[in-house]
Amino acid sequence: MSEKKETLWNLLGYLFKAHPWHGIPIGGLRMIDGGEADDKIIAVMKGDAAFNRWREIEDYPNRMIDRLRHYFLTYKQAPQSDAGTKTEITHVYGREETYDVIRRAHNDYGKRFSRLESVLEDALAGE
């Protein structure tokens, strides 16, 4: 492995390890934004003193889910604007479906960026 390539991989490894966040998915919001899926995963931090006991979306207070719904349905709206992308939340789902969503997203990412390593190698080689 060239010195440049090794330096890049070490840097990428550092960036991904520098701020580890260990979340425990407990559920999600099925959101449609502009006609496309834009699911929102709800997770609690592992070891969190206040929320670590939550393991399922049913453990999450309804008022908190309502606040999340409101936030994700309104956060892109400009003040005093009627224009914007149509968003909707079709339903709230539990932990099992959340893991399925995460698996599908991981697979989609792998397909979309399958050539990422070779692109980085080409960039380092000056091609």
- Tens digit of each residue's pLDDT (9 = 90 or more) over 23-57: 899 999 999 988 888 999 999 988 889 988 899 99
Is residue 49 within 8 A of residue 107, CB to CB? The reply is no
Closest to 41 (Cα-Cα) out of 59, 27, 61: 27
Query: Is 81 inside any structural domain?
Result: yes
Query: Is 11 inside any structural domain?
Result: no
Please give the pLDDT value at position 115: 75
What is the residue-level pLDDT of the chain in tens, covering all 127 positions? 556 556 656 666 655 555 566 889 999 999 998 888 899 999 998 888 998 889 999 998 999 999 999 999 988 776 765 556 688 999 999 999 999 999 998 888 778 777 777 777 777 776 5
Number of domain units in the chain:
1
Collapse the DSSP code of 114 into the 3-class scheme (helix H, G, I; strand E, B; otherwise coil) and give the result.
coil
In angstroms, the first-to-last Cα distance of the chain is 17
Query: Is 108 inside any structural domain?
Result: yes
Domain region containing 119: 20-125
Query: Is 47 inside any structural domain?
Result: yes
Query: Is 14 inside any structural domain?
Result: no
For residue 50, give the CATH number of its domain.
Answer: 3.90.80.10
Q: How far apart are CA 95 and CA 24, in angstroms?
A: 9
pTM higher than the cut 0.85: no
